[in-house]
């Protein structure tokens, strides 16, 4: 997801209305894992409503006589619950559907429950809510991150329980319904059309989507780095169809670059594509990201956004955080992928300019740790720290390890068979980096990812230097003081350049304490001393003026 400004408005409503949000799940939720969703909905755009059923197959982990799901009380009405041809009793309150089973179910069993329901929408498409946005008489779309899938279908609405899914959507015959995975069939009957979509790749509920409209569709063939062919589909509103052909012209180049960088596109057996939607609803839905209408400009103005949502197919969709404390593994990686793509297309200077723009954000922007402290505090999971500082962390890691280690570590992380199509925490990525580098990197991640920074939110370095001469050379003393308050000193690998008009010498230091002096010798008298000129380390530098 690319939008982060207005998303802050979610904080109060989410924390107050749902005590089960972001991992604070009732123990009943841990008693099973969903293996498959079969969702069938009929969408009435004129009434801005939907009806249908969800068929859920789950594997039981612990003995239980109850089955619990998330289902919004504000938008969904549960009509009936069926299990083994019997109607079950249920309670529906505080956004939870608690189903009373007819018998005790034991571990290693599998159950199948069908829930019939109908619903309306309270979503206006502006991120301060979620669910289904009915933007006009012939357009609707969903947005479900972080926990809004429950507003349009009952489900186990947590990122760590991924399942396969079939999604069928019935709409008026003049409209198209787009969703995750492969389109298996379209049935036309009585002025209605039903679109049958299927994904055999595991998917988190927040990545299941529906987009409905009078779409103009076009497509192209993509061949992966392993020679597999896949279709890329574009679904756009008629008024934007010409502009879209220009805006999407580099999609295959984006995919190809990310395949070379991260590994083969994760959903190569299904599809990739983009669906245009109204509202502020750009979102990385699995295999079919949504792109909001104002980003169709006909001049590729938002190509980095397309790169961002494409990168999410690896980081977020294939590899999904186990909980929202680790959102930087989604958003920091996708934001850094923008910088990598920019470097690929326009060179190192463009890359560094992009990194500098994130590093130059005002002090206090990144006051929250990159890895959230609490899975219940929304701002700990979706703040500039996760997006921009997360990208800065990856930049610093790359510069410290070097490309020959950093990029193999990324590919190893994305290609780890124990992580692919599953869930991860930050320690999984750290482990891959340590294996690739043969280094203990805990100090790096502790200070840049886990540390709660002080109000300056970055190392604040004050420095001065003095040069004296002996018989054979010039001696320069550099005194560095870390001015941060209330946190341990950072460990900072820094490049130091001592220069004159015609000569320069490079030194490498590691600053680790509050005040530290470094001494250098040079055969010439320096008139300049430059610290980290290539912007490898996130910091604020201040030269101390001596009397």
Q: Are residues 176 and 109 in the same domain?
A: yes
CA–centroid distance for 103 within its chain? 40
Q: In b/e form, how buried is each residue of 433-442, taking b as 16+ CB within 10 angstroms?
A: bbebbeeebe
Please give the tally of structural domains in the chain: 3
Q: Which domain holds residue 24?
A: 1-210
Q: Are residues 411 and 475 in the same domain?
A: no
* End residue of a domain, out of 210, 229, 260: 210
DSSP letter at 151 equals G
Q: Kindly state whether residue 231 falls inside one of the protein's structural domains.
A: no
- Within 8 A by CB and 6+ apart from 38, the residues are 54, 55, 56, 57, 165, 166
Q: Kindly state whether residue 297 falls inside one of the protein's structural domains.
A: no
Q: List the CATH number of the domain containing 329.
A: 1.10.390.10
Supply the pLDDT for residue 4. 55
Task: Name the maximum alpha-carbon separation found in the chain.
Answer: 98
**Integer Cα distance of 337 and 307 in angstroms:** 7
- Within 8 A by CB and 6+ apart from 401, the residues are 409, 433, 436, 437, 439
Q: Kindly state whether residue 255 falls inside one of the protein's structural domains.
A: no
Q: List the CATH number of the domain containing 37.
A: 2.60.40.1730
> What would the two tokens of residue 225 be?
């780095």
Supply the pLDDT for residue 126. 86
* Dihedral pair phi/psi, residue 403, rounded to 5°: -60, -30
Q: Are residues 398 and 470 in the same domain?
A: no
Centre a 10 Å sphere on the Cβ of residue 532 and count the other Cβ atoms it contains.
18
Q: Are 70 and 94 in contact (CB under 8 A)?
A: no
Supply the pLDDT for residue 545. 79
Q: Are 513 and 547 in contact (CB under 8 A)?
A: no
Q: Are residues 157 and 190 in the same domain?
A: yes
* End residue of a domain, out of 430, 450, 470: 450
Q: Are residues 204 and 67 in the same domain?
A: yes
The strands making up 229-236's β-sheet, listed across from edge to edge, are 216-223, 229-236, 272-277, 290-292
Q: Are residues 167 and 63 in the same domain?
A: yes
> Which residues are paired to 315 by β-bridges?
319
- Within 8 A by CB and 6+ apart from 12, the residues are none
**Integer Cα distance of 5 and 382 in angstroms:** 10
Q: Kindly state whether residue 154 falls inside one of the protein's structural domains.
A: yes
**Integer Cα distance of 228 and 283 in angstroms:** 26
Q: Kindly state whether residue 219 falls inside one of the protein's structural domains.
A: no
Q: List the CATH number of the domain containing 477.
A: 2.60.40.1840
Q: Which residue has the tokens 């999609």?
A: 251
Which CA distances in Å does 160 have to 70, 129, 382, 420, 425? Answer: 14, 22, 17, 13, 10
Q: Kindly state whether residue 416 falls inside one of the protein's structural domains.
A: yes
Q: Are residues 523 and 394 in the same domain?
A: no
Q: Kindly state whether residue 228 falls inside one of the protein's structural domains.
A: no
- Within 8 A by CB and 6+ apart from 527, the residues are 499, 500, 501
Q: Kindly state whether residue 444 falls inside one of the protein's structural domains.
A: yes
Q: Are residues 490 and 528 in the same domain?
A: yes
Q: Are residues 191 and 133 in the same domain?
A: yes
Q: Are residues 444 and 485 in the same domain?
A: no
Q: Are residues 187 and 40 in the same domain?
A: yes
- Within 8 A by CB and 6+ apart from 50, the residues are 41, 42, 43, 44, 118, 119, 120, 132, 152
> What would the two tokens of residue 432 be?
């891959």
* End residue of a domain, out of 431, 450, 469: 450
Mean pLDDT by 10 residues, the chain (547 residues): 48 34 62 98 98 98 96 98 97 96 95 98 87 98 96 97 98 98 97 98 98 98 98 98 98 98 98 98 98 98 98 98 95 98 98 98 95 66 92 98 98 98 98 98 97 94 96 95 96 97 96 97 96 97 83
Q: Are residues 380 and 498 in the same domain?
A: no
**pTM given for the model:** 0.94
């Amino acid at each position: 997801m690319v939008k982060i400004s207005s998303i802050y408005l979610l904080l109060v409503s989410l924390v107050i209305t749902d005590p089960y949000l972001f991992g604070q799940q009732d123990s009943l939720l841990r008693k099973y894992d969903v293996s498959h969703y079969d969702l069938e909905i009929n969408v009435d755009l004129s009434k801005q409503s939907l009806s249908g059923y969800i068929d859920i197959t789950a594997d039981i982990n612990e003995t239980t006589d109850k089955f619990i799901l998330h289902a919004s009380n504000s938008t969904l009405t549960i009509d009936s619950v069926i299990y083994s041809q019997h109607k079950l009793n249920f309670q529906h309150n505080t956004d939870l559907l608690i189903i009373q089973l007819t018998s005790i179910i034991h571990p290693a069993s599998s159950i199948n429950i069908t829930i019939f329901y109908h619903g309306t929408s309270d979503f206006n498409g502006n991120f301060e809510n979620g669910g289904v946005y009915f933007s006009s008489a012939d357009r609707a779309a969903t947005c479900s991150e972080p926990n809004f899938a429950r507003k349009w279908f009952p489900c186990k609405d947590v990122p760590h329980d991924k399942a396969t899914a079939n999604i069928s959507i019935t709409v008026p015959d003049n409209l198209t319904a787009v969703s995750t995975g492969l389109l298996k069939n379209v049935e036309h009957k009585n002025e209605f059309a039903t679109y049958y979509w299927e994904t055999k790749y595991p998917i988190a509920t927040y990545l299941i989507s529906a987009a409905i409209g009078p779409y103009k569709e076009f497509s192209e063939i993509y061949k992966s780095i392993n020679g597999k062919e896949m279709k890329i589909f574009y679904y756009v509103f008629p008024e934007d169809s010409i502009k879209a052909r220009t805006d999407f012209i580099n999609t295959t180049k984006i995919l190809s670059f990310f395949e070379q960088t991260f590994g083969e596109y994760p959903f190569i057996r299904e599809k990739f594509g983009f669906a245009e939607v109204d509202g502020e609803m750009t979102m990385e839905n699995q295999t079919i990201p949504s792109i909001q209408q104002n980003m169709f400009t006909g001049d590729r103005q938002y190509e980095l956004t397309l790169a961002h949502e494409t990168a999410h197919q690896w980081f977020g969709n294939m590899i999904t955080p186990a909980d929202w404390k680790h959102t930087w593994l989604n958003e920091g990686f996708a934001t850094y992928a923008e910088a990598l793509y920019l470097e690929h297309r326009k060179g190192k200077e463009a890359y560094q300019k992009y990194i500098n723009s994130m590093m130059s954000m005002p002090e206090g922007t990144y006051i929250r740790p990159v890895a959230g402290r609490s899975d219940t505090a929304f701002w700990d999971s979706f703040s500039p720290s996760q997006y921009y500082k997360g990208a800065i962390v990856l930049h610093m890691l790359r510069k410290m390890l070097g490309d020959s280690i950093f990029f193999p570590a990324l590919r190893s992380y994305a290609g780890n068979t124990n992580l692919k199509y599953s869930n991860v925490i930050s320690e999984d990525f750290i482990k891959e980096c340590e294996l690739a580098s043969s280094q203990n990197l805990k100090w790096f991640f502790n200070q840049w990812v886990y540390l709660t920074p002080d109000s300056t939110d970055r190392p604040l370095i004050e420095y001065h230097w003095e040069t004296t001469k002996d018989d054979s050379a010039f001696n320069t003393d550099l005194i560095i003081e870390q001015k941060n308050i209330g946190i341990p000193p950072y460990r900072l690998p820094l490049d130091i350049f001592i220069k004159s008009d015609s000569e320069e010498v490079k030194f490498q230091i590691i600053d680790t304490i509050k005040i530290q002096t470094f001494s250098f010798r040079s055969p010439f008298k320096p008139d300049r001393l430059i610290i980290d000129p290539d912007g490898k380390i996130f910091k604020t530098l201040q030269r101390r003026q001596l009397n």
